[in-house]
Structure 1
Amino acid sequence: MKLPPPDGTLQPRLAATILAAGAGSRLGYIPKAAIHIDGRPILHWQLAALQEAGIHEIAVVVGAYRAQMQALIAQAPCAVQAVSHDQPDEPDEPDPADLVASQLAALRSHARDRPGQDLLLMLGDLPFIRSAHLHPLQRAWTARALGIHALVPVVAGVRGHPVLLSWEAAQFMANEGRGNGGVRGWMQRNQPSVQFLELNDPAYTLDLDTPQDLQRFGGSILPHAPLHR
């Protein structure tokens, strides 16, 4: 794929999208972005981090538990756009490709609603991302070489999140469709366009996937709505 080089003379405009449409099957079917850490939903921690980092155009992809996620968005400390993902995991048959479909919903919404802006794409189950974790990514993104269209944090050899995508790459992926492996598939096919940023903070890779994770991180589950059908 041949993309034009980003315009390195301009300060990049960043918008953010949080992927929070999953069913949380390995946690017993709960909305992971609604889990409370230190008395606050993960989603609200993430929104605060983005705001403090100067990123004010934010979308959240919702699917499963749509009513509860919409309520969390309504209680958010900032303006947030809700993006509907109409094919969330079903309780009896979780779809391993659902993340790709959720990414596609995010990319298409971004391409439609935020033309010309680069995209910070974040998973909704990262409990410890704060603004201090976003600043190194923003600095590296501003200083990146021509031809770099994606930035990925790496901790001890493990890829983390959030990832940053140029407007050109986000637009291209939005038009690719679901069968191309999502963001990771695009990166595999366009390795010279991807920069990996070595960092030493586990917050970029610590997510909530299992009850053991929840116990280890001290999270709490509040009553939640049934899966959206």
Structure 2
Amino acid sequence: MPVPHPPVAGLLLAAGGGRRLGGRPKALLGFRGRPLVEHAARALSEGGCAPVCVVLGAAAAEVRVHADLAHCTLVDNPRWPDGMGSSLRAGLAALEATDAGAVVVSLVDQPGVGAAAVSRLLAAHRAGAGLAAASYGGERGHPVLFAREHWEGVARAAAGDRGARAYLRAHASAVTLVECADVADPRDVDVPEDLGLLSGSPGRPD
């Protein structure tokens, strides 16, 4: 009988304060009538990730009240103003106690990234990839996947708003790019002009 693969965890970075959106926390932006964080967390779980860990920061108390994240492990990052790197470290630390063999890391502000992209990363991992990233027209993007043996190095390299970029760049030759342009839209909601992305359909490029 085939040996079952260890579970792959999902890690959603949802702590940002939306400084360039006038201080509107991205997790609480409305998307299809619900907080955006719900869609992003659901994409991880429906894509095959378990457990799903959501790192909160700005307006964490409000997110807990208004968003239905009952199926997730919630982690508060009091250092969220330091940048995405602090949230990545907090999430990886929280997952150390699980039996996950890998983690898919996604960002809360990409409404066009759904379960299909996550599922493709899991398939790449099951085929042997220890480092994988969704790509769009050959350009590396999110989500990204790290096998457990990479977690320590990723956490050590995560600083400021760079997240895992430095680690992925240093290990570029080992990263499997998984084309997702046909099932996902990588554009993020960063400035007020991007708010129109919230009116589109999740997981489908224009």
TM band (smaller chain): 0.7 to 0.9
CA distance in structure 1 between the aligned counterparts of 2:176 and 2:185, rounded to whole angstroms: 16
TM-superposition CA deviations, 1:52-111 (whole Å, max 9, x none): 2332311111111111122245x23x421111211222xxxxx5xx11122111222222
* Residue matched to 2:204: none
The letter for the 1-side match of 2:144 is V
* Residue matched to 2:154: 173
After superposition, the Cα gap between the structure-2 partners of 1:10 and 1:193, relative to the gap in structure 1 and judged at 3 Å, is: farther
* Residue matched to 2:52: 58
> 8 Å contact 1:104–1:177 — kept in the other structure?
no
How far the C-alpha of 1:11 sits from its partner, in A, is: 2.0
* Residue matched to 1:119: 103
Give the alignment's TM-score, normalised by structure 2.
Answer: 0.84
Q: Does 1:86 align with 2:70?
A: no
CA distance in structure 2 between the aligned counterparts of 1:126 and 1:84, rounded to whole angstroms: 21
| Matching of residues 1-229 of structure 1 within 5 Å | 10-73=4-67, 75-76=68-69, 78-89=70-81, 98-111=83-96, 113-144=97-128, 148-174=129-155, 176=156, 178=158, 182-201=163-182, 203-218=184-199
Higher RCO (CA < 8 A, seq sep 6+): 1
After superposition, the Cα gap between the structure-2 partners of 1:199 and 1:216, relative to the gap in structure 1 and judged at 3 Å, is: closer
CA distance in structure 2 between the aligned counterparts of 1:205 and 1:51, rounded to whole angstroms: 19
SS at match of 2:134: strand
Q: RMSD of the TM alignment (CA)?
A: 2.5
Q: What is the total number of aligned residue pairs between the two structures?
A: 198
Query: Where do 5+ consecutive residues of structure 2 fail to align?
Result: 201-206
Give the alignment's TM-score, normalised by structure 1.
Answer: 0.76
**Percent of pairs identical after alignment?**
29
Query: Where do 5+ consecutive residues of structure 1 fail to align?
Result: 1-7, 90-94, 220-229
